[in-house]
Amino acid sequence: MSKIESAYKEIEKFIGPDFISNKDFVKAAYSRNVDPAFPDRWADMIVRPESPKEVSEIVKIANKYKIPIVPRGGGADLVGGAATDEGILIDLTRMNRILEINEDNFYCIVETGVTWGALVSELYKKDLTTGILGPGSGYSATIGGGLSNSTAGFGSTKYGLVPDICLGVEVVLPNPKGAIIKTGAASNKYAEPICRYGVAPDFTGLFMGSVGTLGIITKAFLRLVPNSPYKIRKNYMLNSDDYTILFQLMNKLQREVRDGLHDLYITPKMILDLLSTFVKKEDKPPKRPRIKGPVLMFILEAFDERILDVYIEQVDEIMKDHARPFEWTEIDTSYDLTKDWKMNLKFPYNYFNKFIALIPGRISCTTCHKVPIASMAEKKQLSTEFDITHQSEFPPWSMAAFASSIHLLPNGHCVFAGGFNAENREDQRDASMKLWHKKVRAQVRYGGIHYWLGESISQSIVESGAYTPEFIQFFKDIKKAVDPNFLLSPKKFHMYNYEDNLSKYVVNNE
Amino acid sequence: MAKISDISKEKYKYLAKLEQMFLTCISCGDCREAVDITADPPKDGVCVAREHTSGFEPFFSRGKMQIIRSIWQGKLSLSKDLAEVFYQCPTCNACSETCAYDMDNATVYEALRAELVEAGCGLESHASMNQAMVDLFNPYGRDNKQKGNWIEQLDFIIKNAITEKAEILYFVGCTAALTPEIQSVALNTVKVLKKMNVDFAVLGEHEVCCGSVAMRTGDRRAFNSVSSKNREIFEKCGIKTIITSCAGCYRTLKIDYADILKELEIEILHTIEFIHRISLEKTIPLKNLELNVTYHDPCHTGRHTGLYEEPRDILRRIANLTEMKNIKENAKCCGAGGGVKKGFPELSLEIAKSRIKEAEETGTDYIVSICPFCYRNLSDAIKALNSKIKMIDLLELINQALK
């Protein structure tokens, strides 16, 4: 009996035959995430545990037989993080209970397989929210995925990234004992999980953005805030395609409007031009749209209608010399007017779909990264130069943009959300993957900070030579401490064993 | 050397027609369990098959699409094992409703099922049902003459479409015609039509199954057999409008017979749509029965064909309607469709029990629907749960409400 078969039998004993499978069609069903470049990857088996205890048992057996393990949340990952071509794929979506919503002390305890849509819906019933509403895939993405990928999403301009609302986690460590630990205030077994800092070093942070390399997050303690009753959306189009002016406006908005800014999203001019060419004939506006610059979409929020009016006045005042009010109906008449807009979950959770597959069938090789707002013009230029220089390497009919959307974060930086698209076809994968890595390396070298790292991006950062040898050693030491057999999420960060020298993956002369 | 897609196009003729559709799926997974209290109507999950099985990805749409892609790319073969999973889907199309890319998932699954049947991997239970449809013109394996039995319970005469001229054909459907407990749907329909002075006819023992179950379970040979037979009958009878009180027949005639009915210039309406139209035109008085009811949207009149408001409009006039948590586009399936009741009766019942529990939460006395097949499955669930709620077809209420 092979070690895979032995492990299968042992796991089946406690999890039951209904929640483990090694059937080919089940492996095929779990073989992809949302990206076109990775090949289909078939795990040796897929398991669906329902408790941290079961996860712990799986980890113990994986260690016994030295079989790799990869956790998977909603599987909405864009960077190859939640599929594997070997070992045990752990589908965590069965662990989807909301265990406590503490209205008195503004926190909640959830299993990490719960989706953002489910949690936020439950919180809204109590006029509460997580602030950041999770990633753009919030209908399917899980809390665990949001934490493991340090995700931004709607609400991030004000409330920050997903880890910023995390007060602690329960984690199954990938060591031979499958140890279960809690971090943050919850590491004090006598305390409620009310805060993240104080009781010990911030071990929560170890697992934020670790893309499943250091532990399997099974529970999360999240900070809650009251949900503001007054929200409004406003759009402006900049009078010119000038990113220096855009920076100045963003800086001013942060200084003066601050808490009123639930979100500021910017759609670059080239994306507007592109979207206007995709409009269905029946939805074309009577006049050809005049697109002079990027569109800024504000979501403003307040707890008092009078304060919201003040925010609106402030934004109007800041924008008046450089932009004009804009309606999407100028490009596509099927869109709603901003006056008819209401905050609902479909808006944030479907917002990015049009960018992920601008043309159906072609999916984004995503390169979302953060840059300082003062450097937007420079980074835009560098990114565009990369695309021009490497034009011949793009897959057929691929489109690339320095950003499909720009999202302001709480202080002076923003996300350039974007990438290039490619078809999910065997004959294009190699070229797409090579270009994807190369593009990310270029972004890393101009100072871009990627956050969903998955497999492709984490490897590209290593390849760029961005990490110092000391940092890599520190990372490996920590990895070895929690995962001595290097079984959890192998391949991410090109980290396969303790002895391996990561410098050999650095790609020079680019 | 031929490309894989060329080989697949040759090998999988039903999937070939939908290649662009299933290759469009980006695997975002919104079809798994979207929950959204802010949606109108609110959404509380998507896939009833996933909710009542082990929940592995093949049990909801993203996994199915990935499997189909793998078959298309030659990495997987059709098998009985695979069929077991695909046939546990009631093709309710809730996944399609939540898809940001407007995929028509049920159509893709039906094509895959057609490939499974042709490859000899279909379910045995479906094969016998579909063969009965070809041989006897109904999937219940009964003598089709019994389709006229319910007519004998009437105390008035109705026209026979074969021998008498009528522009409107009431297409009863096999379930209402042949299931004694559900014949009330047919009886109430014709009583209502009579009260409304509608000139109509029925086919009785000459009514041939529309082929819904064959189409849903992938037996295209059986479907083509009955649909061509029906084409002949419709043409011969010279009818202008078909009305039906069966959601399955309605969906099949409206969508799967679209080309035939267009050619014959025949309009297809659900009985409720028809009655709603007449009641508005003629301002027919309906009395309020003062019953507390909730309404179950059949998938075939709901997500498949968009008939949401007409039944509710009538219900609000004749009863006190309290909606369930999941309604209209987001209504939960009763679990009977897509061949699930025949192939996996236990799963079908479990899904129906969930729906009944949801109905019970409304505190109403009746669950109303407009589909004999939903009627049957939900009635089974009521019995299994020993629930106090009562199943009733909307036509029965309308009959009571018509003065």
Map residue B50 onto helix, strand or coil: helix
Residue contacts between A and B (CB atoms, under 8 Å): 131
Last residue of a domain, one of B255, B278, B301: B278
A7: domain CATH number is 3.30.43.10
Residues A217 and A329 occupy one common structural domain: no
Helix runs in A237-371, H state only: 243-256, 269-277, 305-319, 346-350, 353-356
Residues B321 and B255 occupy one common structural domain: no
Residues A103 and A221 occupy one common structural domain: yes
Length of chain B: 403
- Contact in structure between B196 and B274 (CB atoms under 8 Å): no
Domain that holds residue A48: 3-91
- Write out chain B residues lying below 8 Å of A143, CB-based: none
Name the residue among B23, B66, B85 with its Cβ closest to that of A31: B66
Peptide bond preceding B41 in cis form (omega within 30 of 0): yes
CA distances from A127 to A121, A143, A300 (A): 10, 20, 17
Residues A253 and A209 occupy one common structural domain: no
Residues B17 and B151 occupy one common structural domain: no
In a domain, A452, yes or no: no
- Write out chain B residues lying below 8 Å of A98, CB-based: none
Name the residue among B4, B29, B100 with its Cβ closest to that of A74: B29
For residue B251, give every residue at least 6 positions away whose Cβ sits within 8 Å of its Cβ, in sequence order, or none. Answer: B212, B300, B301, B304, B305
Which of B95, B86, B31 minimizes the C-alpha distance to A34?
Answer: B31
- Contact in structure between A147 and A171 (CB atoms under 8 Å): no
Which of B288, B289, B306 minimizes the C-alpha distance to B297?
Answer: B306
Residues A103 and A212 occupy one common structural domain: yes
In a domain, A331, yes or no: yes
Name the residue among A28, A117, A118 with its Cβ closest to that of B75: A28
Residues B273 and B132 occupy one common structural domain: yes
Q: How many Å lie between the alpha carbon of B52 and the closest alpha carbon of chain A?
A: 12
pLDDT tens digits, chain A, 510 residues: what are they?
Answer: 899 999 999 999 999 999 999 999 999 999 999 989 999 999 999 999 999 999 999 999 999 999 999 999 999 999 999 999 999 999 999 999 999 999 999 999 999 999 999 999 999 999 999 999 999 999 999 999 999 999 999 999 999 999 999 999 999 999 999 999 999 999 999 999 999 999 999 999 999 999 999 999 999 999 999 999 999 999 999 999 999 999 999 999 999 999 999 999 999 999 999 999 989 999 999 988 899 999 999 999 999 999 999 999 999 999 999 999 999 999 999 999 999 999 999 999 999 887 887 777 788 999 999 999 999 999 999 999 999 999 999 988 888 889 999 999 999 999 999 999 998 888 889 999 999 999 999 999 999 999 999 999 999 999 999 999 999 999 999 999 999 999 999 999 999 999 999 999 999 988
Which of A271, A248, A274, A262 minimizes the C-alpha distance to A298?
Answer: A262
For testing contact with chain A, the best of B57, B78, B109, B121 (most A CBs within 10 A): B57
- Check A26 against B58: CB less than 8 A apart: yes
pLDDT of residue A343: 93
- Write out chain A residues lying below 8 Å of B85, CB-based: 25
Last residue of a domain, one of B278, B300, B323: B278
- Write out chain B residues lying below 8 Å of A31, CB-based: 66, 70
In a domain, A414, yes or no: no
Q: Helix axis angle, A376-389 relative to A243-256, nearest 10°?
A: 140
Residues B130 and B182 occupy one common structural domain: yes
In this structure, what DSSP letter does residue A42 have? Answer: -
In a domain, A315, yes or no: yes
Residues A217 and A266 occupy one common structural domain: no
Q: What per-residue string of b and e applies to A304-321 under the rule 16 or more CB within 10 Å gives b?
A: eeebbeebbebbeebbee
Domain that holds residue B336: 285-401
∠ CA B296-B302-B307 to the nearest 5 degrees? 105
- Write out chain A residues lying below 8 Å of B23, CB-based: 361, 424
Mark residue B134 as left, alpha or beta (left: phi above 0; alpha: psi -120 to 50; beta: remaining). alpha
Q: State residue A403 phi and psi, 5-degree precision.
A: -160, 140
Distance of alpha carbon A386 from alpha carbon B149, whole angstroms: 77
In a domain, A299, yes or no: yes
Place of tokens 């395609």: A241
Residues B191 and B337 occupy one common structural domain: no
Q: State residue A459 phi and psi, 5-degree precision.
A: -65, -40
For residue B387, give every residue at least 6 positions away whose Cβ sits within 8 Å of its Cβ, in sequence order, or none. Answer: B356, B360, B381
- Check A117 against B75: CB less than 8 A apart: no
Q: Is B6 on the interface with A (CB under 8 A)?
A: no
Q: Helix axis angle, A456-464 relative to A426-445, nearest 10°?
A: 50
- Write out chain A residues lying below 8 Å of B29, CB-based: 74-76, 137, 139-141
Map residue B96 onto helix, strand or coil: helix
Does the model's pTM come out above 0.90?
yes
- Contact in structure between A332 and A285 (CB atoms under 8 Å): yes
Last residue of a domain, one of A60, A91, A122: A91
- In this structure, what token pair is assigned to residue B313? 């409009």
Residues B136 and B272 occupy one common structural domain: yes
Residues B177 and B291 occupy one common structural domain: no
CA distances from A11 to A29, A41, A51, A211, B56 (A): 21, 22, 14, 24, 16
Residues B248 and B151 occupy one common structural domain: yes
Give rounded-to-5 percent helix, strand, coil for chain B.
Answer: 55, 10, 35
B234: domain CATH number is 3.40.50
Which of A289, A268, A171, A254 minimizes the C-alpha distance to A220?
Answer: A171
Residues A236 and A191 occupy one common structural domain: no
Number of domains in chain A: 4
pLDDT of residue B285: 86
Map residue A282 onto helix, strand or coil: helix
pLDDT in tens, B124-183: 999 999 999 999 999 999 999 999 999 999 999 999 999 999 999 999 999 999 999 999
Residues A59 and A109 occupy one common structural domain: no
Last residue of a domain, one of A172, A195, A226: A226
Residues B82 and B134 occupy one common structural domain: no
- In this structure, what token pair is assigned to residue B281? 């035109």
pLDDT of residue A424: 87
Distance of alpha carbon A160 from alpha carbon B73, whole angstroms: 42
- Contact in structure between A292 and A269 (CB atoms under 8 Å): yes
Residues A281 and A313 occupy one common structural domain: yes
pLDDT of residue B349: 98
Which of A80, A65, A76 minimizes the C-alpha distance to A116?
Answer: A76
pLDDT of residue B311: 97
In a domain, A450, yes or no: no
Q: Is B51 on the interface with A (CB under 8 A)?
A: no
- Check A115 against B63: CB less than 8 A apart: no
Q: State residue A69 phi and psi, 5-degree precision.
A: -130, 140
Which of B194-197's residues contact partners 24+ apart within 8 Å by CB, and which partners? B194/B156, B194/B158, B195/B399, B195/B402, B196/B275, B196/B278, B196/B279, B196/B282, B196/B284, B196/B402
- Write out chain B residues lying below 8 Å of A96, CB-based: 33
- Check A356 against B28: CB less than 8 A apart: yes
Residues A164 and A281 occupy one common structural domain: no
Which of A157, A75, A153, A145 minimizes the C-alpha distance to A110?
Answer: A145
Number of domains in chain B: 3
Nearest CA in chain A to B50: A94
A190: domain CATH number is 3.30.465.10
For residue B146, give every residue at least 6 positions away whose Cβ sits within 8 Å of its Cβ, in sequence order, or none. Answer: B177, B178, B205
pLDDT of residue B1: 59
pLDDT tens digits, chain B, 403 residues: what are they?
Answer: 567 778 898 999 999 999 989 988 999 999 999 999 999 999 999 999 999 999 999 999 999 999 999 999 999 999 999 999 999 999 999 999 999 888 999 999 999 999 999 999 999 999 999 999 999 999 999 999 999 999 999 999 999 999 999 999 999 999 999 999 999 999 999 999 999 999 999 999 999 999 999 999 999 999 999 999 999 999 999 999 999 999 999 999 999 999 999 999 999 999 999 999 998 877 788 999 999 999 999 999 999 999 999 999 999 999 999 999 999 999 999 999 999 999 999 999 999 999 999 999 999 999 999 999 999 999 999 999 999 999 999 999 999 999 7
For testing contact with chain B, the best of A85, A111, A115, A139 (most B CBs within 10 A): A139
Give the number of C-alpha atoms closer than 13 A to the C-alpha of residue A13, restricted to the C-beta side: 8
Nearest CA in chain A to B76: A25
Mark residue A227 as left, alpha or beta (left: phi above 0; alpha: psi -120 to 50; beta: remaining). beta
pLDDT of residue B2: 67
Residues A222 and A275 occupy one common structural domain: no
- Check B81 against A23: CB less than 8 A apart: yes
Nearest CA in chain A to B45: A118
pLDDT of residue B284: 83
Last residue of a domain, one of A65, A91, A117: A91
Residues B207 and B325 occupy one common structural domain: no
Distance of alpha carbon B367 from alpha carbon B369, whole angstroms: 7
Name the residue among A32, A115, A353 with its Cβ closest to that of B33: A115
pLDDT of residue A473: 96
In a domain, A306, yes or no: yes
- 196-225 in B: which are within 8 Å (CB) of A? none
- Write out chain B residues lying below 8 Å of A43, CB-based: none
Distance of alpha carbon A448 from alpha carbon A461, whole angstroms: 10
Residues B112 and B145 occupy one common structural domain: no
A237: domain CATH number is 3.30.70.3450
Radius of gyration of chain A (CA): 23
Residues B15 and B114 occupy one common structural domain: yes
B105: domain CATH number is 1.10.1060
B202 has which bridge partners?
B160, B170
A182 has which bridge partners?
A170
In a domain, A133, yes or no: yes
Last residue of a domain, one of B278, B298, B327: B278
Residues A25 and A141 occupy one common structural domain: no
